[in-house]
């Protein structure tokens, strides 16, 4: 399987993520911000809040989460609206909104460049920005997209699932799955057992067999651990930088 | 890093409670830092932690702190302030009513300062604060469903330094820097600034800092030095202050 033939156009193996870069706290006026890049795909997220909301929109039970998706150029279309809703529902699963009744949390997503797996990149960026803003959360998110290449590509035998696809791979795919998982935390429990990653969001496009979906889910699980490890590393670095004067 | 407790099976007695293995480490939301069945009878938790069944779960990123016997909290730096009881804050009056003042402390909602929550204040004799004035106060209550309340006196009713802040200059920094400025022993920047200049300073846990000095130039210098010191080591901060002081003394 590891022969040259199983490599993708950009030289990656089918099960390989692109290089990730995460910058935290780079916006001055936002309460928290992060830029998350996966090679060509890059998203900048700013988080504002918890803050006062206009009385019309506030919820007496919990904080209202609003997501604004700014495309790279032009105005919002239906695709952006859909991404907004998916992202909002994903974040609502991890943000401890009941701690701030009547308040609002704004998440502004600015797409810098789209080279495939955009929604995953945005979810990862938003999670990093929320952590940077100090918004209480139940856990961290990691999101991965998988493209199911068309079978007549000649890449047979289970090698047709492409992890973290580029735009070209995504456009040529038979189907794509975008999964967001709540990652497994570090735990100091006595028995050391923590449940595995929980699926928070799953969006699919195109048609695929159930077995293929389950296979994709498995691979996303594995990849989410890599993303989680990277996110923790970047968080560690950012926190150390903040603490320098005290220590 | 992942150390399991040595005595695996024996039920832990209340005397042998041990601190979480994550103390002093950087933790992220979702981390389970303590198993409450293994901890002592009483565990006190501060900001950034939550109880979930029998475990203690982190909700904010930061460094896990612990003091004996069993206090735990997460220390992180953030721009937006979330009020906590007994924090000292600097706020700005935004609305004025007969019974109370509405104060902006930079939190999710504005705070309430009762008009009589000053030392020696009575119905006839209460301080006259106008919209836009700044006050140095203490948070007396925070509840999920009501606005936080402030007071300009300590628990025994003394002013204890709290009260209106006349004149001066107010600026905003991160909560992490505010904590550094309030820490003991005095942090390097303030030590260095205090050595060469005389000024008044009020730091709030909410990241609002009030400075007043004899001249506007000194006020601005102090404010700039404090803002610049956020990412500097103590030695770097001292050097920075020294070069600033030179500039102000030359003309």
Q: A52 to chain B nearest CA, in Å?
A: 6
Q: Are residues B151 and B184 in the same domain?
A: no
Q: Are residues B200 and B244 in the same domain?
A: yes
Mean residue pLDDT of chain B comes to: 87
Asked if A49 reaches chain B (Cβ–Cβ under 8 Å), the answer is: yes
Q: What is the pLDDT of residue B68?
A: 84
Phi, psi for residue A160 in degrees, rounded to 5: -95, 5
The count of domains in chain B is 3
Instruction: State the residue range of the domain holding B145.
Output: 88-166
Q: Which residues of A touch B55 (CB under 8 A)?
A: 187, 189
* Chain A interface disruption, residue of B2, B6, B29, most A CBs within 10 A: B29
Residue B175 lies in a domain: yes
Domain locations in chain A as residue ranges: 8-243
Q: Are residues B179 and B245 in the same domain?
A: yes
Asked if B77 reaches chain A (Cβ–Cβ under 8 Å), the answer is: yes
Cβ atoms of residues A82 and A122 within 8 Å: no
The residue among B166, B185, B209 that closes a domain is: B166
Asked if B32 reaches chain A (Cβ–Cβ under 8 Å), the answer is: yes
pLDDT tens-place string over residues A188-236: 655 555 667 889 999 999 999 999 999 999 999 999 999 999 999 999 9
Q: Are residues B97 and B122 in the same domain?
A: yes
Q: Are residues B243 and B228 in the same domain?
A: yes
Asked if A27 reaches chain B (Cβ–Cβ under 8 Å), the answer is: no
Q: What CATH superfamily is the domain A8-243? A: GHMP Kinase, N-terminal domain (3.30.230.70)
pLDDT tens-place string over residues B39-58: 777 889 988 999 988 889 99
SS (H, E, C) chain A: CCCHHHCCCCCCCCCCCCCEEEEECCCCCCCEEEEEEECCEEEEEEEEEEEECCCCCCCCCCCEEEEEEECCCCCCCHHHHHHHHHHHHHHHCCECHHHCCCEEEEEEEEEEECCCCHHHHHHHHHHHHHHHHCCCECCCEEEEEEEEECHHHCCCCCCCEEECCCHHHHHCEEEEEEEEEECCCCECCCCCCCCCCEEEEEEEEECCCHHHHHHHHHHHHHHHHHHHHHHHHHHHHHHHHHHCCCC
Residue B114 lies in a domain: yes
Cβ atoms of residues A226 and A16 within 8 Å: no
Alpha-carbon separation of residue B74 from A25, A104, A107, A187, B143 (angstroms): 19, 23, 24, 16, 20
Neighbours of B1 (CB within 10 A): 6
Q: What whole-number distance in Å separates Cα of residue A155 and Cα of residue A14? A: 10
Percent of chain A with pLDDT over 90: 72
The residue among B144, B166, B188 that closes a domain is: B166
Residue B26 lies in a domain: yes
Residue of chain A minimizing CA distance to B7: A190
Asked if B71 reaches chain A (Cβ–Cβ under 8 Å), the answer is: no
CB A136 to CB B60 under 8 A?
yes
Residue B8 lies in a domain: no
Residue B81 lies in a domain: no
Quick one: tokens of A58? 């506030």
Report the pLDDT averaged over residues A2-17. 77
Q: Which residues of B touch A240 (CB under 8 A)?
A: 26
Q: Specify the CATH number for the domain of residue B118.
A: 2.40.50.140
Select from B32, B176, B187 the Cβ nearest to the Cβ of A185: B32
The residue among B75, B108, B127 that closes a domain is: B75
Q: Specify the CATH number for the domain of residue B242.
A: 3.30.1370.10
Residue B93 lies in a domain: yes
CB A186 to CB B20 under 8 A?
no
Cβ atoms of residues B160 and B125 within 8 Å: no
CB B57 to CB A138 under 8 A?
yes
């Amino acid at each position: 399987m590891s022969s040259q033939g199983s490599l993708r156009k950009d030289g990656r193996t089918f099960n390989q993520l692109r290089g990730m870069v995460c910058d935290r706290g780079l916006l001055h006026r936002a309460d928290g911000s992060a830029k998350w890049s996966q090679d060509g795909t890059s998203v900048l997220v700013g988080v504002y809040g918890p803050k006062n909301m206009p009385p019309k929109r506030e919820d007496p039970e919990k904080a209202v989460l609003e997501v604004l998706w700014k495309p790279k150029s032009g105005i919002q279309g239906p695709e952006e609206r859909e991404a907004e809703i998916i992202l909002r529902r994903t974040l609502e699963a991890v943000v401890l909104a009941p701690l701030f009744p009547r308040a609002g949390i704004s998440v502004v997503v600015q797409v810098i460049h789209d080279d495939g797996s955009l929604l995953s990149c945005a979810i990862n960026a938003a999670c990093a920005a929320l952590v940077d803003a100090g918004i209480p959360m139940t856990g961290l998110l990691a999101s991965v997209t998988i493209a199911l290449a068309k079978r007549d590509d000649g890449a047979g035998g289970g090698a047709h699932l492409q992890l973290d696809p580029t735009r070209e791979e995504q456009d040529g795919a038979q189907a794509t799955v975008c999964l967001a998982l709540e990652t497994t935390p570090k735990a100091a429990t006595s028995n050391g057992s923590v449940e595995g990653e929980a699926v928070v969001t799953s969006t699919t496009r195109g048609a695929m067999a159930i077995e293929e979906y389950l296979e994709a889910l498995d691979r996303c699980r594995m990849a989410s651990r890599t993303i989680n490890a990277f996110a923790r590393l970047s968080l560690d670095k950012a926190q150390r930088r903040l603490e320098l004067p005290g220590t | 890093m992942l150390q399991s407790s040595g005595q695996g099976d024996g039920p832990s007695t209340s005397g042998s409670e041990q601190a979480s293995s994550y103390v002093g480490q950087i933790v992220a939301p979702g981390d389970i830092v303590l198993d409450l069945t293994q901890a002592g009878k009483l565990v006190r938790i501060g900001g950034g932690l939550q109880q979930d069944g029998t475990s203690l779960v982190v909700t904010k990123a930061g460094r896990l702190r612990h003091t004996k016997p069993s206090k735990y909290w997460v220390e992180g730096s953030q721009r937006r302030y979330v009020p906590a009881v007994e924090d000292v804050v600097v706020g700005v009056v935004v609305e004025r009513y007969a019974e109370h003042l509405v104060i902006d402390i930079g939190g999710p909602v504005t705070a309430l300062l009762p008009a009589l929550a000053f030392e020696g204040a009575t119905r006839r004799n209460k301080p006259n604060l106008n919209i836009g004035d700044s006050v140095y106060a203490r948070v007396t209550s925070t509840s999920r469903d009501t606005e936080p309340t402030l007071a300009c006196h300590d628990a025994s009713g003394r002013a204890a330094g709290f009260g209106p802040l006349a004149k001066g200059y107010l600026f905003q920094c991160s909560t992490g820097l505010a904590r550094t400025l309030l820490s003991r022993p005095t942090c390097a920047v303030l030590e260095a600034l205090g050595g060469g200049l005389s000024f008044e300073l009020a730091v709030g846990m909410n990241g609002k800092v009030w400075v007043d000095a004899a001249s506007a130039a000194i006020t601005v210098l102090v404010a700039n030095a404090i803002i610049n010191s956020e990412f500097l080591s103590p030695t770097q901060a001292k050097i920075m202050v020294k070069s600033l002081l030179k500039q102000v003394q030359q003309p």
